[in-house]
Amino acid sequence: MSDLLVVGTLHTLDPSRPRAGAALVRDGKFVKVGTREECESAAGADLKFIELGEGCAVPGIIDAHGHPLLHGRMLAEVRLQGAISEQECVERVARYSQFVPSGQWIRGGGWDQNLWPSHDFPGRELLTAATPKHPVALARVDVHALWCNDFALQAAGIDSKTPDPPGGRILHKEDGTPTGVLIDTAMDLVRRAFAAPGPREAEETILRSLQALSIVGITSVHDASAGPEVLQAYKRLADRDALPVRVYAMIDGQGAGLDEQIALWRETPRIGRLTVRAVKLFADGALGSRGAAMFDPYEDDSGNKGLWLMDPRELESRIGRVAAAGFQPCVHCIGDQACAIVLQTFAAKVPRDLRPRAEHLQILRARDVPLLKRSGAIASMQPTHATSDAAWAEARLGHGTERQRGAYAWRQALEAGAPLAFGSDFPVESIDPREGLKAAVARKAANGAVWMPEQRLTRLEALHAFTTGAAYAEFEEGRRGLIREGFDADMTVFARDIMTVHVDELPKVAVQATVVGGHVEHAG
């Protein structure tokens, strides 16, 4: 490979040299960081340049929580993001159905009843009438609820007598018939009717997502729950050096076969750009579908305290098994009760050097904040959740309540001494890290109002969470997250300086290049 010289404004995030005028890359590493003259004097005869001009380069941006397979699949399915009514969703599905053979499943996602005038969950009647020849299953934006038509319910054998599964809920009308909406583990009743993707389809779906990530400047992604088939697809891609970004994959720890998967990946935890040394577990559901596990009932749903997707005793047992095997436990916890119990379990069961991760950590009471420090947990959070949910979150939590004050509280976690790792939870939110940076710094909802400004971060703090913090969350702080000599040459290059443009302009700053290990994987 030729040497690569990057010249211009480099925000290194290295405390010993926060800014540099140039960086020289050789054999996938930064070999010199300093002035242009210093780097040119160390360069070989075969030299390529990236001139930053008015732009800047930062350490490669890492998305610390995403779902590539789901994202790649949804890119090829009916999209319901932004629909302002149930009727608009139905119309989109009806148009899509014209191109799908009769009897074939129609899948899609992205609907959010909180954007609709009534704020009510949808029903099966309109959807069934518009799709008389297809079973239809549509995931809510948070992927914790599924909206089905009659044909999908029939395929799953769901009727008025079907009991709620543990950790799930089948919504019913007053006459006892299913509404068509399934919450959390109840979704599995329908998902079992889907055909599993073949090996080639799985690889193509994953690559579709990873290539999209590269285009928006992401150099590494943490896959927050990968089943055996997905892990094998990653392995095949890694074996032939086909991954366009680095992947830190978490084993799906919810079902059977956890111990076998841990044993398998302990043998070869790193293959090229793929690393597998973590396990993902789910404590509770999501706030938007009222499945997050709360100490007190929802403000807008009296009597409902949410759902445990895994019994707390079983969750504690599995966290202990993961830790005993030397793997990193990563646990989805959103409601205040789920967050408290997960952190208590980390403190009791997980050695600090395994760096347990609280995924989302969405609602944490002030009295439970000390558990962050005691457990050594990483706060793996997603800033765009706050700006997307701001319009309705207080309706769930109550205005001015303790749990509302501890909601989406990034600064609370940071000031408690917890390492902060940022991601997006795509496809629940946009894959674009520029949106995440803006959300963390401005905390502006869609209507422009600032929600809970006391939790805002500085631009530097937010960038650290997407780089050094996320690298720490995958045990790579000695190799990535900084532009430093000896580190992997991962960089995100922007057309303007993201540290000086107005915060509202951040999403509009073009990504000029995505560099992974010295390779330019995307050039804008």
What DSSP line would sit under 397-434, residue for residue?
Answer: H-TT-HHHHTBT-HHHHHHTT--EEE---BTSS-S-HH
Q: Work out whether strand 47-59 and strand 61-66 pair parallel, antiparallel, or are unpaired.
A: unpaired
Q: Per DSSP, what are the bridge partners of residue 455?
A: none
Instruction: Give residue 278's identity as a one-letter amino acid code.
Output: A
Confidence at residue 469, expressed as pLDDT on a 0 to 100 scale: 98
Region 1-60+481-524: CATH code: 2.30.40.10
Q: Work out whether strand 246-252 and strand 270-271 pair parallel, antiparallel, or are unpaired.
A: unpaired
Residue 170 contacts residue 178 (beta carbons within 8 Å): yes
Cα–Cα distance between 138 and 113 in angstroms, integer? 13
Tell me, which fold does domain 198-480 have in CATH?
Answer: TIM Barrel (3.20.20)
List the chain domain ranges: 1-60+481-524, 79-191, 198-480
Q: Per DSSP, what are the bridge partners of residue 168?
A: 184
Cα–Cα distance between 114 and 111 in angstroms, integer? 9
Q: Work out whether strand 246-252 and strand 274-282 pair parallel, antiparallel, or are unpaired.
A: parallel
This prediction has a pTM of 0.93
Cα–Cα distance between 489 and 517 in angstroms, integer? 5
Residue 5 contacts residue 22 (beta carbons within 8 Å): yes
CA end-to-end distance (rounded Å), the chain: 21
Find how far residue 154's CA is from the centre of its chain.
32
Residue 487's contacts (CB-CB under 8 Å, 6 or more residues apart) are 29, 30, 479, 480, 481
Question: Is 36 exposed, middle or buried, given 0-12, 13-18 or 19+ CB atoms closer than 10 A?
Answer: middle
Cα–Cα distance between 181 and 137 in angstroms, integer? 9
Q: What is the rounded (10 degree) CA torsion for 419, 420, 425, 429?
A: 180
- DSSP label at residue 504: G
Give SS3 for 39. Answer: helix
Sign of the CA dihedral running 229, 234, 240, 242:
positive
Judge: domain 79-191, CATH 3.40.50.300.
Answer: no
Confidence at residue 202, expressed as pLDDT on a 0 to 100 scale: 94
Over its length of 524 residues, how does the chain's per-residue pLDDT go in tens digits?
Answer: 799 999 999 999 999 999 999 999 999 999 999 999 999 999 988 999 999 999 999 999 999 999 999 999 999 999 999 999 999 999 999 999 999 999 999 999 999 999 999 999 999 999 999 999 999 999 999 999 999 999 999 999 999 999 999 999 999 999 999 999 999 999 999 999 887 788 999 999 999 999 999 999 999 999 999 999 999 999 999 999 999 999 999 999 998 899 999 999 999 999 999 999 999 999 999 999 999 999 999 999 999 999 999 999 999 999 999 999 999 999 999 999 999 999 999 999 999 999 999 999 999 999 999 999 999 999 999 999 999 999 999 999 999 999 999 999 999 999 999 999 999 999 999 999 999 999 999 999 989 999 999 999 999 999 999 999 999 999 999 999 999 999 999 999 999 999 999 999 999 999 999 999 999 999 98
* b/e sequence 489-507, b meaning 16+ C-beta within 10 Å: bbbbbbbbbbeeeebeebe
Confidence at residue 52, expressed as pLDDT on a 0 to 100 scale: 98
Cα–Cα distance between 190 and 150 in angstroms, integer? 11
- Look-up: residue for tokens 């089943």? 227
Instruction: Give residue 156's identity as a one-letter amino acid code.
Output: A
Cα–Cα distance between 39 and 240 in angstroms, integer? 33
> Hey, what are 86's tokens?
């149930």
Residue 166's contacts (CB-CB under 8 Å, 6 or more residues apart) are 185, 311
Cα–Cα distance between 128 and 420 in angstroms, integer? 44
- DSSP label at residue 193: T
- DSSP label at residue 272: T
Residue 515 contacts residue 219 (beta carbons within 8 Å): yes
